């Protein structure tokens, strides 16, 4: 069976992030800890969007992890390890 790399983009984070943030987060600009690239959350590469254990968002510039999000029955776990800052539109 042929296999292609399966990632989508940060637009897919809109629902899960809207569950925990009051403001829309995919249009927020983030700066990557690893390479310094700045861009909207919507442009991140998101892995695990189809029934994976969690969502793993990577920088399109350096492929390092920017954020992870896991939804469990009791909690939403959010790892923002790869963000220097996030500028959220008010």
Partner 1 sequence: MSRLAWRVAYLREVRDETPSARTLVLDVPGWPGHLPGQHVDVRLTAPDGYSAQRSYSIASAADGDAADGEAAGGDTVELTVQRVPDGEVSSYLAGPYAVGDPVELRGPVGGWFVWRPADLAPVLLIAGGSGVVPLMSMIRARAAAGSRMPFRLVYSARTPEDVLYAEELKRRALSDRGLDVSYVYTRRAPDGHGRPAGRLTAVDLAEWGWPPEFEPAVFVCGPTGFVEAAADLLVDAGHDPRRIKTERFGPTGG
Partner 2 sequence: MGIVTPGFTGRRRSDVNLPPGQYLTEDFPVLSAGPTPRIPLDTWEFVIVTETGEKHTWSWAQLMAMPSEDVTVDIHCVTKWSKLGTRWRGVPVSAFFDEVETAADFAMAVSYGGYTTNVPLDDLLDGQAWVAYKFDDDDLAPEHGGPARLVVPHLYFWKSAKWVRGLRMMLEDEPGFWETAGYHDYGDPWREQRYQGD
Task: List the one residue from 70, 83, 86, 88 that touches partner 2 (CB under 8 A).
Answer: 70
Choices 5-13, 15-23, 32-40, 82-90 (CB under 8 A): range interacting with partner 2: 5-13
Nearest of 51, 35, 53, 39 to residue 11 by alpha carbon? 39
Nearer to partner 2, 5 or 22 (CB): 5
Q: Show the binding pattern over residues 12-51: x = contacts partner 1 (CB under 8 A), - = does not.
A: x-xx--xx--xxx-xx------------xxxx-----xxx
Distance CA 27, CA 65 (A): 18
Ramachandran area for residue 2 (φ above 0: left; ψ -120 to 50: alpha; else beta): beta
């Amino acid at each position: 069976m042929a296999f292609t790399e399966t990632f989508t983009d940060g637009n897919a984070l809109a629902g899960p992030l809207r569950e925990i943030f009051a403001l829309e987060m995919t249009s927020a600009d983030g700066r990557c800890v690893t390479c310094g690239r700045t861009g909207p959350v919507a442009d991140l590469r998101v892995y695990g969007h189809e029934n994976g254990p969690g969502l793993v968002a990577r920088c399109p510039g350096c492929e390092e992890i920017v954020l992870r999000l896991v939804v469990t029955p009791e909690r939403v776990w959010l790892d923002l390890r790869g963000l220097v800052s996030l500028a959220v539109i008010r």
